[in-house]
Amino acid sequence: MLDDFEKELAYCAYCPKLCRHVCPVGNAERRESVIPQAKMAMGHMARNGTVSLTEDYASVFFYCNGCGLCTEFCEHDIPVSEVLFEARAEAVARGVQPKTLQNFADRFYARNERLVRKLHGLVDEHYFVEEAQVAYMPGCDLIDDSPDDVQKTLDLFAAAGVDYVSIMESDLVCGGYPLWAAGYQSEFRHVAEEQARRLSGYRKVILACPACVYTIRHVYPKFGVNVTAEVVHVSEFLDTIAHRLPVKQTVQAAYYHDPCYLGRWLGVYEPPRRLAGLVTRKVLEFAHNREQADCCGGGGLVPDVAPQTASAIAERRLEEPNQAGVGVVVTACATCVKNLGRAGRDMEVLDIVSLLHRSLE
């Protein structure tokens, strides 16, 4: 088990907890067992048989947002979350995953089915075009929690004179990130293969979900699944057509929050900022931004496993705009919008798409 990561596990196990201060989960829980070093040490012990994985022991693997902050900080570049997701798979294989993630695959499929139906109810049928070369794939959290943003995205395309984008016709609205993160690897592989076939029917697919862009671009290949279509995030695409967007500056000031998968994992920092700048007089930076940006707490299924922790992380993230008295936070990920939005009572947290749409002339 976890043999590919033998060295990584040991390095962290013997590390003097050097990245503890950046881990959002560790900082929210203040629990010594969920800092990166300890989670990896648990993996190390499980691998060499020092402990036998029980649900209690395995639980720590699931206290990870996959935010990549530890890796960013680490001078050994240890990909902690990747290793922990692998360890989750081990837990799932032994049936010791957290209660809330039992039968997760079934729930994933059920949710998918519901969201497919919902998507069709959200937008007019004419957006689903056969033989389209370029498709838009909204993703689960957007459809589920920011449904209006789907139409807004399409409006923006139209406003910029882009009329060739169709909504991706599929019975799968997700790239499978949740399955990967939950450690349901065989189900993930299945979804990846299925989705890859569908994606490859297009030349380019524009995704709203950064986690799925990352998953498709970088995780699929590790499972031997390749996608021929070019997969881009909606902010990257909008950035290329931004000069044609008829928008004006209507917002005084807004903080921009980097989604972990879009920023650290995909390296997309500037496009969403440029977009925000089109309609915002002052795009404010968090003290921790870009490579150092703090997580919103929504990734890695932490909201499913430890909802209070996820909100605590979000609250921490919003402390800065709160203190500065700035009421708008813009980001480029529906999961971030959802998790930050839940925590920010007096704060408006919105997707860049929504912000742009509001300023359409």
Partner 1 sequence: MADTISIEAKARQLGSILKDDQVSILAPDRVAYSRDLWPRGLIEFSAGRPAPSPPDVVVWPETTQDVVHLVEWAAGTETPLVPYGGGSGVCGGAMPRRGQVVVDLKRMDRILELDGPNHRVRVQPGMNGWTFEEVLGRSNLTMGHFPSSIFCSTVGGWLAARSAGQASTRYGKIEDMVSGLEVVTGKGEVIRTGNPGAASLGPDWTQLFVGSEGTLGIITEATLKVLPAPEMRVYRGYGFDRVSAGLEAIRRFMQKGLLPSVVRLYDEFDTVIARSGAGRGSEADTLVKEVMGRLTHLTKPMLPWVKVAALRAALSKPGWLNKLADGLLPKLTGQGCLLVVGTEGRPRLAQAEADRIHEEVLRAGGRDLGPRPGEHWEKHRYSVSFKQSGVFYSGGFVDTMEVATTWDGLLRLYEAVKTAVSPLVFIMAHFSHAYPEGCSIYFTFAGSSDDPEQGLKLYDQVWNTALAAVTRAGGTISHHHGVGRSKQAFMVEEHGDSLELFRMLKRVLDPKEILNPGKMSL
Q: By the criterion CB under 6 A, which residues form the site for ligand SF4?
A: 11-12, 15, 18-19, 22-25, 36-37, 40, 64-70, 74, 76, 78, 80-81
**Which residue from 1, 5, 47, 59 is in contact with partner 1, where contact means CB under 8 A?**
59
Closest by CA to 301, choosing from 142, 150, 216, 184, is 184
Told to check if 269 binds partner 1 by CB under 8 A, we report no
Q: 24 is in the binding site of which of ligand SF4, partner 1, none (Cβ under 5 to 8 A by kind)?
A: ligand SF4
Q: How many residues does the chain have?
A: 361
Q: CB of 303 within 8 A of CB of 271?
A: no
Told to check if 274 binds partner 1 by CB under 8 A, we report no
Q: Give the binding range for partner 1 (CB under 8 A) out of 26-34, 97-105, 196-204, 269-277.
A: 26-34
Q: Give the binding range for partner 1 (CB under 8 A) out of 27-35, 103-111, 129-137, 166-174.
A: 27-35
DSSP string, 100-145: GGTTHHHHHHHHHHHHHHHHHHHS-GGG--TT-SEEEE--HHHHHH
Q: 349 is in the binding site of which of partner 1, ligand SF4, none (Cβ under 5 to 8 A by kind)?
A: none
Q: Which residue, 83 or 213, has its beta carbon nearer to ligand SF4? A: 83
DSSP string, 26-56: HHHH--GGGSHHHHHHHHHHHHHTSS---HH
What is the chain's Cα-based Rg? 20
Instruction: Provide the minimum distance between the beta carbon of 198 and ligand SF4 in the complex, in angstroms, as a whole number.
Output: 29
336/264 Cα distance (integer angstroms): 14
Q: Which residue, 71 or 280, has its beta carbon nearer to partner 1? A: 71
16/218 Cα distance (integer angstroms): 30
Q: 64 is in the binding site of which of ligand SF4, partner 1, none (Cβ under 5 to 8 A by kind)?
A: ligand SF4
Told to check if 41 binds partner 1 by CB under 8 A, we report yes
Residue 237: how many CA atoms within 13 Å on its side-chain side? 26
Binding site for partner 1 (CB under 8 A): 7, 10-21, 27, 30-33, 38, 41-42, 45, 48, 50-51, 54, 56-57, 59-60, 74-77, 287, 308
